[in-house]
């Protein structure tokens, strides 16, 4: 097992009716900025619940944070927060709103242009206190310190994370997911599933507990995924889905393990070029990536086939193929098409994508074996 350091300071407040506990978690007298996205929280009742819970506080609102939150928008929030002497931030939304708020709270305490710490994350040291009310289970941002921010002016999309960008607390009420459309639920299931796979499906590293935890989240998502997406809302299923997405990226399964993340990196390019949903890009790329890298992922693929899919018979090659096929079928059964032609995308963009990685000099994956040539092979497998 590799050495590791783990610390996650977020207080998780989970369950039915928990939004009303909000006020007790924020020190009296704080001047709060409430951040949110496109306004779905005004339709599903979350906005009203949060406002009611915060009735004793002075609250400034900042809505309109985009699905891929931009520097340009967030800097408006920073200016507004400084003008109103805000000293506590509450993100109400999904991963984009929470990621955006992590940028805002760090920018508040940064001397200089905050884009500097996106380009060089070691420049950021401190962040103002913030918390979240999660409305969309998917990214895990509610219980980690990571944030991905885009800059329109330069078409850049960069990530940062500092010790102080863990939410002080996050409130997860599974009932707020009842109004989510199927597409967002399906994307959320895939996002959580692939987050686990990126940390699990690499090579054996003697991390027995983390393997078991990862397999446990995958098995749970397989057990409940289709029902969450297709059936009428069921509280316990939604609770397990919501908790799965949080546990998939809060550090519990990453202690001491090698990590891949190539599916995410290649997927980001499909979003950038074609506007595909993030979850959709993962469902397209991952099966092809597993096929293209099965030689060096072989041992973990066999373990995955055995423990997650109960595939016990056949040659090693057959068991690996069966596991990848079942993974792809799982995504399709959630209603997500897993081939590029189903989105009317052909191979014309592949040169552009491959060139981007080649120019950056990046070799992806847990062994840095995913060269531009392998990326092309993976993309061809997605047609």
Residues making contact with a copy of itself (CB under 8 A) = 1-18, 169, 174, 206-209, 211-213, 215-217, 219-220, 223-224, 235-236, 239-240, 243-244, 247, 252, 255-256
CB of 11 to a copy of itself, least distance (A): 4
The pairing of beta strand 169-172 with beta strand 156-161: unpaired
CB of 5 to a copy of itself, least distance (A): 5
> Residue 103 in 3-state DSSP?
helix
Of the candidates 223, 217, 222, 219, the one whose C-alpha atom is nearest the C-alpha of residue 243 is 217
Question: From the CB of 9, what's the least distance to a copy of itself, in Å?
Answer: 5
Nearer to a copy of itself, 17 or 112 (CB): 17
The residue (of 218 and 375) whose beta carbon lies closer to a copy of itself is 218
Closest CA to 214 of 232, 195, 227: 195
Closer Cβ to a copy of itself, 138 or 280, answer by number: 138
- Shortest spacing between CB 310 and a copy of itself, in angstroms: 11
Which helix (H) or strand (E) segment holds residue 58: the answer is strand 58-62
Cβ proximity to a copy of itself: between 24 and 153 the closer is: 24
Nearer to a copy of itself, 194 or 217 (CB): 217
Please calculate the CA angle 201-260-219 and round it to the nearest 5 degrees.
Answer: 35
- In the complex, the smallest distance separating the C-beta of residue 153 from a copy of itself, rounded to whole angstroms, is 38
137 near 124, Cβ under 8 Å? no
Show the tokens assigned to 223: 């057990």
- Could you tell me where the DSSP H helices lie in 108-258? 115-119, 182-200, 208-230, 235-247
């Amino acid at each position: 097992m590799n050495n590791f350091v783990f610390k996650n300071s977020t207080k998780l407040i989970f369950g039915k009716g928990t939004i009303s506990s909000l006020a007790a978690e924020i020190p009296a007298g704080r001047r709060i900025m409430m951040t949110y996205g496109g306004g779905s929280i005004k339709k599903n009742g979350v906005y009203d619940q949060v406002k009611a819970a915060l009735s004793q506080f002075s609250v400034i609102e900042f809505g309109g944070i985009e699905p891929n939150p931009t520097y340009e928008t967030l800097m408006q929030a920073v200016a507004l927060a400084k003008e109103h002497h805000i000293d506590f931030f509450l993100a109400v939304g999904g991963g984009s709103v929470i990621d955006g708020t992590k940028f805002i709270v760090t920018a508040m305490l940064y001397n200089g242009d905050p884009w500097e710490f996106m380009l060089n994350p070691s420049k950021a040291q401190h962040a103002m206190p913030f918390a979240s009310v999660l409305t969309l289970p998917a990214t895990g941002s509610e219980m980690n310190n990571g944030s991905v921010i885009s800059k329109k002016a330069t078409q850049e999309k960069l990530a940062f994370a500092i010790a102080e960008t863990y939410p002080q607390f996050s409130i997860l009420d599974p009932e707020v997911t009842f109004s989510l459309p199927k597409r967002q639920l399906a994307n959320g299931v895939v996002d959580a599933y692939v987050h686990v796979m990126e940390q699990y499906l690499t090579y054996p590293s003697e991390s027995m507990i983390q393997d078991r935890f990862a397999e446990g989240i995958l098995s749970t998502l397989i057990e409940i995924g289709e029902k969450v997406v297709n059936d009428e809302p069921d509280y316990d299923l939604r609770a397990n889905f919501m908790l799965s997405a949080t546990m998939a990226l809060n550090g519990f399964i990453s202690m001491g393990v090698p990590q891949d993340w190539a599916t995410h990196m290649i997927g980001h390019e499909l979003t950038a070029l074609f506007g595909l949903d993030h979850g959709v890009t993962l469902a397209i790329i991952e099966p092809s990536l597993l096929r293209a890298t099965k030689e060096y992922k072989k041992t973990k693929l066999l373990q995955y086939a055995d423990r997650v899919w109960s595939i016990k018979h056949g040659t090693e090659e057959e068991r690996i193929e069966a596991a990848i096929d079942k993974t792809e079928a799982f995504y399709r059964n959630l209603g997500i098409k897993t081939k590029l032609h189903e989105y009317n995308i052909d191979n014309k963009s592949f040169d552009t994508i491959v060139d981007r990685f080649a120019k950056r000099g990046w070799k992806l994956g847990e062994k840095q074996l995913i060269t531009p040539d392998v990326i092309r092979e993976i993309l061809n497998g997605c047609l």
